[in-house]
Amino acid sequence: MNRVGIGYDVHPFEEGRPLILGGIEIPHTRGLKGHSDADVLCHAIADAILGSMGLPDIGFYFPPTDASIEGICSLRILEKCAALAIEKGYAITNVDSTLIAEAPKVMKHAAAMKEKIAEALGIKPDEVGIKATTNERMGFVGREEGIAAMAVACVEK
């Protein structure tokens, strides 16, 4: 049995923080604001995997009110999703994602992000899709106020 899930996340930029996307630090003038490391890409992928199994979303397992997870590396969140998949008898077949960011350009970092995400999920790098687009200068992404990400995941029992 194959099942699919969808995930979406957005974080605003904040001065003085590193920009973490797909588990790696990407050189930029600002990072993203969040209770965690604000890795918007990992969060979208996590919700897609959780959704594919009919489980509650990321905030159920990692509440923003939990002081003990402040600054958590979002690869740990993906590891939890992979553990839940095993527990429920699913194998993660593949994930695909799109980053929506006016800046910085991220595709030159895609191979490194795929490696990190795949390692955390226990799948192969070519089972992780990462794409990027600008928002053609429209809306909050277009004004460089933040970065959004969307993802889908497929699991198999």
Ligand X SMILES: Nc1ccn([C@@H]2O[C@H](COP(=O)(O)O)[C@@H](O)[C@H]2O)c(=O)n1
Q: Which does 62 bind (CB under 5 to 8 A by kind): ligand X, ligand CDI, none?
A: ligand CDI
Q: Is 41 in the site for ligand X (CB under 6 A)?
A: no
Q: Which does 101 bind (CB under 5 to 8 A by kind): ligand CDI, ligand X, none?
A: ligand X
Interface positions, 74-133, toward ligand CDI (CB under 6 A): 77
Q: Is 36 in the site for ligand CDI (CB under 6 A)?
A: yes
Q: Is 101 in the site for ligand X (CB under 6 A)?
A: yes
CA neighbor of 129 nearest in space, from 89, 99, 157: 99
Residue 73 CA: distances (Å) to CA of 24, 40, 77, 144, 147 = 10, 11, 7, 24, 18
CA gap 147, 88 in Å, rounded: 32
The residue whose Cβ lies closest to ligand CDI is 34
Q: Where are the alpha helices (H) located in the chain, listed in sequence order?
A: 40-52, 58-61, 74-87, 110-121, 139-142
Binding site for ligand X (CB under 6 A): 101, 105-107, 132-134
